Amino acid sequence: MTTLPTEPQWSDWQPLFQTGRNKAISPEAGLYRIRRVGQAHLDYIGQTGMGLRKRLGMLSGVYGPVMPYNDPHTAGPALWAQKRLEDCEYEASVVVMRDLSTPQRKAQECVAIARHRQAHGQSPTFNFGRMPPGYSKSTGNNSALAARGKRHRGGPTDEILACHVPGRAPDGPIDGDGSVDDLLGLGWSGWVSVDRVLDDLTGSEVGLYLLRRRGADELLYVGEGKIRGRVSAHMKKGQKADHPQAFAFDDPEDIEASFIRRNDLPKHQLLEIENDLIAAHVIGVGAGPVAQFLG
């Protein structure tokens, strides 16, 4: 796998406004980052296979009169709301990764986010679905939501929502030796068979989990959520010959799991830890977990 350089060759900063027409932004696949002008830390890091110029152009709604929906770009509502709070200007920078597959590019996005977290002690402001306090987020914009009366634009709110809860600082360094036995030093359970995970957990335990072939030095998957249900879902994918993950989970007897229970953490903080775990694996092993980002 082609890994992200320690110092990626990011482009010069360009105004986010009208990036869809800016020929200084590459039309190729890669990573992009967004920040407020004059701010050291970032507001968002993303990746795209459709072309960087086109993807950044999907944020034109940030400059519109109403909050954009959560698609075509999930960062649109947060950037729009922050602009209303402080009348800020945004700028974007990109790094081209034309030769990577989608899973490889997503793994490199994790590395870029994790390196930002290590450098600044926090995630980019609006990654992982977060919003500035004082604003709720728009829903997606599709016919199914519209038909159910569930499509709506976000806006000012006096409520304290889950998306307003601060992110989590890094739990540990990501530049370790790549050992899958103690990633980030989080106090993982011992490695046990998948059957034991499914038998011993009730289904209510929320946390993070690692899957690997018995004794392997690389992982099959890093995940978060309800541990028992998520592990069970992977095993079911292994029995579907046409599923992209089938090759990784087709022999449950050869797969073992390690996990930590963290029912105390909100969703976006679990996602931050998951991101750092994937990044640590990429840096230490030289590739993302085998079945990561395959659906």
**Eight-state DSSP code of residue 119:** H
Q: How many CB atoms lie within 10 A of CB 21?
A: 10
How confident is the model at residue 2, as a pLDDT?
45
Closest CA to 4 of 217, 272, 286: 286
pLDDT tens digits, one per residue of 13-70: 999 999 999 999 999 999 999 999 999 999 999 999 999 999 999 999 999 999 999 9
pLDDT tens digits, one per residue of 104-143: 999 999 999 999 999 999 999 999 999 999 999 999 999 9
Close Cβ partners of 3 (under 8 Å, ≥ 6 residues apart): 108, 111, 282, 283, 286
Tokens matching residue 271: 């996602």
C-alpha 295, offset from chain centre: 14
**Bridge partner residues of 256 (DSSP):** 193, 212
Alpha helices in 97-250 (DSSP H): 102-120, 143-147, 194-200, 227-237, 246-249
Distances (CA, A) of 258 to 101, 190, 193, 234, 286: 28, 6, 9, 14, 21
Strand order in the sheet with 221-226: 192-193, 255-261, 206-213, 221-226
**Which carries the bigger pLDDT value, residue 200 or residue 177?**
200
CA distance 155 to 131: 11
**What whole-number percentage of the chain has pLDDT above 90?**
89
**Bridge partner residues of 141 (DSSP):** none
User: Whole-number mean pLDDT of the chain?
Assistant: 93
Q: How confident is the model at residue 179 (pLDDT cuts 50, 70, 90)?
A: low
Element (DSSP H or E) covering residue 35:
strand 30-36
How confident is the model at residue 182, as a pLDDT?
77
pLDDT at 4 over 90: no
Domains along the chain? 14-164 (3.40.1440.10), 183-285 (3.40.1440.10)
pLDDT at 295 over 90: no
- Percent helix / strand / coil, the chain, rounded to 5: 35, 15, 50
- Average pLDDT for 183-194: 91
